[in-house]
Chains A and B, each alone.
Chain A
Amino acid sequence: MKFHAVLDIQLHAGIADPQGSTIERALPTLGYEGISQVRSGKSIHLDIDADDAAAAESKLSEVCDTFLTNPVIEGASIRIVEAG
C-alpha cells in the first residue's frame, strides 16, 4: 500500500533557533503583538510503500534518524496523513 506522510522536523528544546528568534523579533515591528516562543523547522512531504501505517512509520523513523534529521540537534514527528 502507498501512504502519504508529513515529517515535521524541529530543533530540540534548548537548541538555539536563530531563524525563529529573528522571526519573533520581526513580528512586533510589523505591528503583530503577543506572539512568542517562535520555533522554525522544516516539513518534508512524501509517499511511501509499506504493508501498513505502522510499518510506514517505523521505516520513516529510521530514515529520519539516519538521513533526514541530524539527531544531535533535531527530531522529527511523523504523521501518516492518508492511505492510498
Chain B
Amino acid sequence: MAPRIGVVRFPGTNCEFDTVEAIDGLGGNGEILWHGDSSIGGVDAVVIAGGFAHGDYLRPGAIARFSPIMAAVTEAAKNGMPVVGICNGFQVLTEAGLLPGALQKNAGLKFLNDWQTLRVETTNSVLTSASAVGDELNIPINHFEGNYTCSPETLSELQANDQIVLTYVGNPNGSVADIAGVCNEDRNVVGLMPHPERASHALLGSTDGNVLLQSVLDSVSVPA
C-alpha cells in the first residue's frame, strides 16, 4: 500500500498542492492536513509545506507552532515519525523547538527566488537516505528569511552529531556554515529551505528534488 504522507496546510500555506503532486508522482499518497485539526489522521509521515503560515506575522512560524495540529505533529515526531519541513515548514519546526537554530532575514535583505545547488552532507536522515554524500542537487530556493543561525555551541553539536543534512554550494543568504537543512538528533525530523517539490518533474527544469522526497517515502514504506 502506498505510504500516506500528510501535508500540513495553515492559512497562508501555498506549496501544499505542489507537494502532494510531487509525492503522488513518486507513488506515495499525499493528503492535506488542516492546521486546525488536532489529529494527523493516521498518516505515515508529515510534511509541513512552504508558504506564509498565518501571514508570517510576528516571526515566520511563531503563530503556526501553536496551531492545534502541531501538538499531534510534535507527539508523532517524538515517537519517531518522519517529519519534514520545507521552507516555511522549516521555520515552523525551529519555532516549535523540534529543530535547533532559527531562520533570520537573508543577508543582503533580498527575497531570493532562484535555482540553487545543494550538497548532500549526510545520508543518515529521513530526507537523504536515498542519496549519496557529495551529491549535488539543483533545487529552487524561494525565501526572505532563510538565513540559518544558531549559537556557536549549537553549531558544534550539529557538526559533531552529523546533523547538517544539506549545504549550499555558494551561500545565497548568509546561513552559518552554508547550512540549507538540518535534522534533529534522532534524525527523523528534517528541515530545509529549498523546495524539492519544485524540482520534481522534467517540465519544471529539474528532477533533483525527487531523491529527497523518495527518501521520505522509503523511510515509511514496508518492504514487499
Interface residues of A (CB under 8 A from B): 14-16, 18-19, 21-22, 67-68, 70, 72-73
Q: Which residue among A18, A21, A22 has the maximum number of chain B CB atoms within 10 Å of its CB? A: A18
Neighbouring A residues of B106 by C-beta, 8 Å = 18
A17 to B183, CA, bound (A): 25
- In the complex, 12 of the A-B residue pairs with CB atoms within 8 angstroms, ordered by the A residue number, are A15-B149, A16-B104, A16-B147, A18-B104, A18-B108, A19-B109, A22-B108, A72-B100, A72-B101, A72-B150, A72-B151, A73-B102
A14 to B155, CA, bound (A): 14
Interface positions of B from 143 to 200, Cβ below 8 Å from A: 147, 149-151, 174
Chain B contributes a number of interface residues (CB within 8 A of A) equal to: 20
Interface residues of B (CB under 8 A from A): 58-59, 62, 66, 94-95, 100-102, 104-109, 147, 149-151, 174
B104 touches A73 (CB 8 A): yes
Contacts A70-B102, A73-B102: A16 and B149 contacting too (C-beta < 8 A)? yes
B58 touches A68 (CB 8 A): yes
A15 touches B58 (CB 8 A): no
Would you give the shortest CB distance from A74 to chain B, in whole angstroms? 9
B174 touches A16 (CB 8 A): yes
Would you give the shortest CB distance from A24 to chain B, in whole angstroms? 12
Would you give the shortest CB distance from B155 to chain A, in whole angstroms? 12
Would you give the shortest CB distance from A14 to chain B, in whole angstroms? 8
Would you give the shortest CB distance from A82 to chain B, in whole angstroms? 25
Would you give the shortest CB distance from A64 to chain B, in whole angstroms? 11
Neighbouring B residues of A18 by C-beta, 8 Å = 104-109, 147, 174
Q: Which residue of B lies closest to A11 (CB)?
A: B104
Q: Which residue of A lies closest to B154 (CB)?
A: A72
Neighbouring A residues of B151 by C-beta, 8 Å = 14, 72
Q: Which residue of B lies closest to A15 (CB)?
A: B149
